[in-house]
Amino acid sequence: MIQELKNSYGTLFEEELLQEIIASATYKEVPEGFKLIEIGDYVKSMPLLVSGAIKILREDTDGDELLLYYLEKGETCTMTMACCMGQKKSEIRAIAETDTKLIMIPIEKMEVWTAKYKSWRDFVFESYHNRINELLLTVDSVAFLNMDERLLNYLKEKVRVTNTSILKNTHQEIAYDLHSSRVVISRLLKKLEKLGSIELHRNYIKILDLNKV
């Protein structure tokens, strides 16, 4: 864990804070698909991402989902942080998009470190700032873009986050993330295939060139 921590956060935090993290945090590895947080959960520790990616989802009253954004190495779940501090229930669901390594910080430390370490304050504010910007991009996407553009962005983002050009997803799963229907996604994917941007297969999509469009 020590090596992992220094790798991802070594330049961000001062030595003394790193020591405190090592002393109080726990290390955790979760496999792809692992559900880290469910809507309504009370969260008792705050995750720092060391490697992998986590997708953050929103759900409406009918159980319809929407992908909000991904968390990556060096980031933290700001919403969880907010929940921890306020002792509120989680507003979102968090699922490991890939195999993921995490450092879990007990919430008691939050308040203490915020008072004590400038680097921690900066990190926390930076996290909030990033998260708000991600949410703004989500709003932009849903409010201003058509489904074909959203799908394209979704594929690009997924390639980036998973760092592979073979996306192991069914059309149905993509439809859930984009809050659309399977038929619509199949239709749009077929269009992209005809343009030569992707190749469709059962259970996976091979990305050729998403900048053709």
- Contact residues for DNA, defined by CB under 7 A: 146-148, 170-172, 179-184, 186-187, 189-190, 193, 200-204
Kindly state the smallest distance separating residue 123's Cβ from DNA, in Å.
Answer: 37
Kindly state the smallest distance separating residue 115's Cβ from a second copy, in Å.
Answer: 7
CA gyration radius, the chain: 19
Q: What's the token pair of residue 72?
A: 């990556």
User: CB-wise, 132 or 200, nearer to a second copy?
Assistant: 132
**Rounded CA separation 41/37 (Å):** 7
- List, as one string, the DSSP characters of 120-163: HHHHHHHHHHHHHHHHHHHHHHHHH--HHHHHHHHHHHHHHHHT
Q: Quick one: which of 2, 63, 55, 54 has its CA closest to 27?
A: 2
**Rounded CA separation 111/142 (Å):** 35
Picked from a second copy, DNA, none, the partner binding residue 200 (CB below 5 to 8 A depending on kind) is DNA
Residues of this chain that bind a second copy (CB under 8 A): 58, 60, 62, 64, 66, 68, 78-79, 82, 85-86, 88, 91-92, 111, 114-115, 118, 121, 125-126, 128-129, 131-133, 135-136, 138-140, 142-144, 179
Picked from DNA, a second copy, none, the partner binding residue 206 (CB below 5 to 8 A depending on kind) is none
User: CB-wise, 24 or 141, nearer to a second copy?
Assistant: 141
Picked from DNA, a second copy, none, the partner binding residue 187 (CB below 5 to 8 A depending on kind) is DNA
User: CB-wise, 138 or 181, nearer to DNA?
Assistant: 181
Picked from DNA, a second copy, none, the partner binding residue 115 (CB below 5 to 8 A depending on kind) is a second copy
Cα distances from 58 to residues 32, 39, 63, 198, in angstroms, run 19, 8, 9, 28
| DSSP secondary structure letter of residue 13 | S
